[in-house]
């Protein structure tokens, strides 16, 4: 039995010293790689425990730091939102420029170089998508019934014009009627060769179902996919309208009819050209 407090303390110190010496022995043994087997066993049991605990601690730490940095995160979020909007705006502007560039290229490659054109932007359309609003008017030289096209692809005719704006009547509009010719050859990628080989004449009109083509000769060898080219004195030049689809084949009919699938997507038009001369 220990007799006094000093003796207890001394014993305590000796025990700690003893374990200290043990730790030095362990370090020496470890340095000569004698512990690999024991370490592998301990690692097998306890590393998963340590890993799970570390994961939990890390997740909690990131959660707490997010909470404590909340105001900074909010500021960063708002800043990123603004940058994202700016990029969207720049992107939209770039897309507009790209579309204009493509339209100009098409116009230069396929358009009638002898005529004068005014570049116009589509600023809106009617609810039934039969009319387009343009940002050019009489101050730009636009007049009533001027032809609107992209390259040699027909868009419509000016149906209403004022100083700063005008309205284009598309082929799908009820009041649109034009004379056309149907061809198979002579138009490569909407480029029209001269002279053009006409298989038949016909008339196109706008309807709620689309662009209707009628009065096609029953004797002509017309098929779906043949190209419809506008050949009307009011237009004054050959302009590609689209392709024939849904051609009727009733032998009892005196003429054939069908529909025209427009070559231009009117819904996505942004840049068009108005022929002023």
Residue pair 178/190 in contact (Cβ under 8 Å)? The answer is no
Residues 151-180 that bind another protein (CB under 8 A): none
Determine, following the binding rule CB under 8 A, whether residue 67 of this chain makes contact with another protein: no
Listed residue (97, 100, 185, 94) closest to 150, CA to CA? 100
User: Does residue 74 touch another protein according to CB under 8 A?
Assistant: no
Q: Is 69 in the site for another protein (CB under 8 A)?
A: no
First to last CA, the chain: 123
Closer CB to another protein, 51 or 85, in the complex: 51
What one-character DSSP code corresponds to residue 139? G
65 touches another protein by CB under 8 A: no
Q: Which residues pair with 275 in a beta bridge?
A: 117
Residue from the set 1, 19, 71, 251 that interacts with another protein by CB under 8 A: 19
Question: For residues 118 and 164, is the Cβ–Cβ distance under 8 A?
Answer: no
Q: Does residue 25 interact with another protein by CB under 8 A?
A: yes
Q: Out of 47, 76, 162, 224, which residue is the one contacting another protein (CB under 8 A)?
A: 47
Is 108 a binding residue for another protein by CB under 8 A? The answer is no
Closer to another protein by CB, 1 or 127: give it: 1
DSSP state letters, 194-244: SS---SEEEEEEEETTEEEEEEEESSS---TTPEEEE--TTT-S-EEEEEE
Q: How far is the CB of 57 from another protein (least distance, A)?
A: 3
Q: 249-268: which residues touch another protein (CB under 8 A)?
A: none
């Amino acid at each position: 039995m220990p007799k006094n407090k000093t003796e207890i303390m001394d014993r305590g110190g000796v025990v700690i010293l003893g374990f200290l010496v043990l730790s030095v022995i362990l370090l020496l043994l470890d340095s000569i790689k004698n512990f690999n087997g024991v370490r592998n066993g301990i690692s097998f049991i306890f590393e998963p425990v340590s890993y799970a605990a570390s994961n939990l601690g890390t997740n909690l730490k990131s959660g707490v730091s997010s909470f404590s940095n909340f105001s900074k995160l909010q500021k960063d979020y708002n800043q990123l939102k603004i940058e994202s909007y700016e990029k969207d705006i720049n992107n939209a502007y770039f897309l507009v420029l790209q579309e204009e560039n493509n339209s100009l290229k098409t116009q230069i490659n396929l358009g009638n170089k002898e005529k004068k054109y005014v570049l116009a932007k589509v600023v809106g359309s009617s609810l039934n998508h039969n009319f387009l609003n343009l940002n050019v008017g009489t101050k730009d030289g636009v007049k009533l019934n001027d032809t609107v096209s992209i390259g040699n692809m027909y868009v419509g005719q000016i149906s209403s014009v004022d100083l700063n704006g005008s309205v284009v009547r598309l082929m799908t509009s009820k009041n649109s009627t034009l004379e056309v010719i149907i061809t198979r050859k002579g138009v490569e990628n909407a480029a029209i060769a001269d002279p053009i080989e006409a298989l038949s004449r016909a008339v196109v009109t706008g309807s709620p179902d689309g662009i209707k083509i009628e009065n096609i000769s029953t004797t002509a060898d017309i098929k779906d996919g043949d190209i419809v080219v506008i050949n009307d004195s009011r237009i004054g030049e050959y302009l590609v309208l689209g392709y024939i689809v849904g051609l009727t084949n009733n032998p009892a009919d005196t003429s054939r009819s069908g529909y025209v699938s427009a070559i231009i997507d009117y819904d996505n038009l942004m840049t068009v050209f108005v022929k002023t001369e």
